[in-house]
Structure 1
Amino acid sequence: MDFYTYQFFYNQAGQGNAMKYYILIALLIVLIFVALKQFRSKEKRKYRDLFVLITLILVFLVGIQVNEYEIGKVNQSNSSQMLAFMENISKNQEVSKSRLAVNSKYIKDEMLIEVDDKIYQINMNTDLSSYKLEETFLIQDKINLVKE
């Protein structure tokens, strides 16, 4: 069973995809360069295929980026909510945030949390605004701690 640490959510909340944007910008620059070459060329068909190919690749990558952007927004929102939740538990239980780990990537009813080597089940109310901790025991004690 995977348990995620406070550091995992902290890294997820601040994670960016700069490299993907650099590739997109580089392709856009190449597209502009090829377009200029095509318009200046006396033979209009010389760079046409390359221009069409780069345009199609760019459109494809933009579509992927839009989808990943939406998923990234949801993941960052979930991570931020989980960070606030873990900070609240840390404060209420008077333990360090680094000693907490949860078995879910988003806040939900009946998720598990490890606090100082004890496992608790979190019972949430319907609007997820309050919770109750109840000690529980795992049938299989093997816990995979995901730190980053």
Structure 2
Amino acid sequence: MNFYGITYLQTQSNINDYLKYIVIFSTLSVLIVVFSLYMRHRLQTKYRDLTIIALLFLLFISGVQYSDYTNSQNIHSQSSQMVNFVRLLSKEKKVGVNSIFASSVQLSDGVIVKINDSYYRVNLSVDQNTYSLVEVWLVNAQTAIIKTEE
């Protein structure tokens, strides 16, 4: 079972998002170059065809990116909720934030939290405004602590 530290939770970034942005901006730049060549040589239809292909590809990638963006925003929102929960828990238990590790990067019901050497299950209310901690014991003691992104 993996447990994530506060620094890992704070620096959640996805390289795939950056890759998608690079593809979109490179396609946009190709579209601009091909469109300017088309405007210069209006009689050659190959530039017009390349412009249409680049535009359609850009529209397709933009649609996929928007869908992924909305999903990513939800995940980042839940990750920031977990960071705030860890900070709140550290104040309540009077331990440092670096002593608390969570089994998930997203705040949800049933997350296992490690505080020093004890393990607790987080029971959230339906509106996620209240929680309770129940001490649990692990069947498999094999745990990995992930403090920063690898």
Q: TM-score, normalised by structure 2?
A: 0.85
C-alpha displacement of 1:32: 1.6
Q: CA deviation at 1:98?
A: 1.3
What residue number does 2:113 align with? 113
Determine what percentage of the aligned residue pairs are the same residue: 30
Deviations 1:45-98 (A, max 9, x none): 131232222223212221221122111111110011111111000111111111
1:65 equivalent in structure 2: 65
Task: Quote how far apart the aligned CAs of 1:42 are.
Answer: 4.4
Partner of 1:138: 138
CA drift at 1:110 = 2.5
Residue 126 of structure 1 corresponds to which residue in structure 2?
126
Who is 2:46 aligned against? 46
State the 1:27 CA deviation: 1.9
Is contact 2:90–2:97 with CA below 8 Å preserved after alignment?
Answer: yes
The separation in 2 between residues aligned to 1:91 and 1:81, in whole angstroms, is 15
Q: Measure, in 1, the Cα distance between the counterparts of 2:58 and 2:113.
A: 44
Q: Take 1:37 and 1:77, find their aligned partners in 2: how far apart are those partners? A: 44
- Name structure 2 gaps, 5 residues minimum: none
Letter of the 1:40 partner, please give it.
R
CA 1:2–1:51 in structure 2 vs 1: closer, same or farther (change >3 Å)?
Answer: same
Task: Specify every segment of 5 or more residues in structure 1 that has no aligned partner in the other structure, as ranges.
Answer: none
Q: Name the Cα RMSD after superposition.
A: 2.1
The question of 1:102 aligning with 2:98 is answered no
